[in-house]
Amino acid sequence: MSKIGYFYTDCLVPMVGNNPYATAEENSTELSINTEVYSLPSRKLVALQLRSIFIKYKSTSFCEKLLSWVKSSRFARVVVLSSSHSYQRSDLQLRSTPFRYLLTPCMQKSVQNKIKSLNWQEMEKTPCIPEVRDSDYCVRIPGGGITRALYKESCSKEIAMAVLLKFVSEGDNIPDALGLVEYLNEWLQITRPQGGGPAPSTLAWRIPSSWKLLFGNGLPPALF
């Protein structure tokens, strides 16, 4: 996907870095910032990537600006890739797949049958206040950042949105990232297995060069 611009906002902590998707020395010094937009015209696909945390009390404002951009740009649908704390799963969630989905009413009309054919599990409603007996039930996404707010606002604004998420733990989340994009690919078929192989491992995902630096350099030989 080619970078086509950025999403200008004062809601995120400013940051700048080198190109996280560098493929050669020639493009390694290109600058990247906290919110960038990528496009793949052949698939009518646009991706917005966030690389920074929200400034306190600014997340609601960001949701409003993002959904306003979605409506003004007339996107056909929105897919949010997210996660939730694995340690806050219910007993039922512990015994099933770690993947869940949510659909706004507008999205259900067009994709509900396809989603059902995949045998996916919808995100369960849980007590709004876990510690209070007889609490009302609602959708909760612990550790999901603005995911729940985006979903609720999209329901009220009649925006076609799907949320795909995985229950994850802190640590090396590379397998979680690959698992989530393969989950997305089951539905949208963005890419197909190479060589006719049915296994997810044969899909042509390109690993960002910056992931090599996730855990820093190896131990200095001088230590030994």
Question: Hey, how many other C-beta atoms are within 10 angstroms of the C-beta on 114?
Answer: 12
pLDDT of residue 198: 53
pLDDT of residue 194: 64
User: How confident is the model over 48-89, as pLDDT tens digits?
Assistant: 999 999 999 999 999 999 999 999 999 999 999 999 999 988
Q: Are strands 16-18 and 31-33 parallel, antiparallel or unpaired?
A: antiparallel
Closest CA to 30 of 44, 16, 45, 42: 16
User: How confident is the model over 19-53, as pLDDT tens digits?
Assistant: 999 988 888 889 999 999 999 999 999 999 999 99
Closest CA to 120 of 64, 52, 188, 208: 188
State how far the alpha carbon of 61 is from the alpha carbons of 10, 29, 48, 72, 166, in Å.
9, 32, 17, 17, 26
164-176 mean pLDDT = 93
Q: What does the domain layout of the chain look like in residue ranges?
A: 1-53, 59-187
User: How confident is the model over 104-143, as pLDDT tens digits?
Assistant: 999 998 898 899 899 999 999 887 777 777 778 888 899 9
Distance between CA 128 and CA 26 in Å, rounded? 51
Distance between CA 189 and CA 184 in Å, rounded? 8
pLDDT of residue 216: 75
- The three-state (H, E, C) secondary structure of the chain, written as one string: CEEEEECCCCCECCCEEECCCCCCHHHCCCEEECEEEEEEHHHCEEEEEECCCECCCCHHHHHHHHHHHHHHHCCCCEEEEEEEEHHHCCHHHHCCCCEEEEECHHHHHHHHHHHHHCCCCECCEEECCCCCCCCCEEECCCCCCCHHHHHHHHHHCCCCEEEEEEEECCCCCHHHHHHHHHHHHHHHCCCCCHHHCCCHHHCCCCCCHHHHHCCCCCCCHHHC
- To the nearest 10 degrees (0 to 180), the angle between helices 174-188 and 105-117 is 90
Q: Does domain 59-187 have CATH number 3.40.50.11540?
A: no
pLDDT of residue 223: 80
User: How confident is the model over 190-209, as pLDDT tens digits?
Assistant: 887 765 555 555 567 888 98
User: Average pLDDT over the chain, rounded to whole?
Assistant: 89
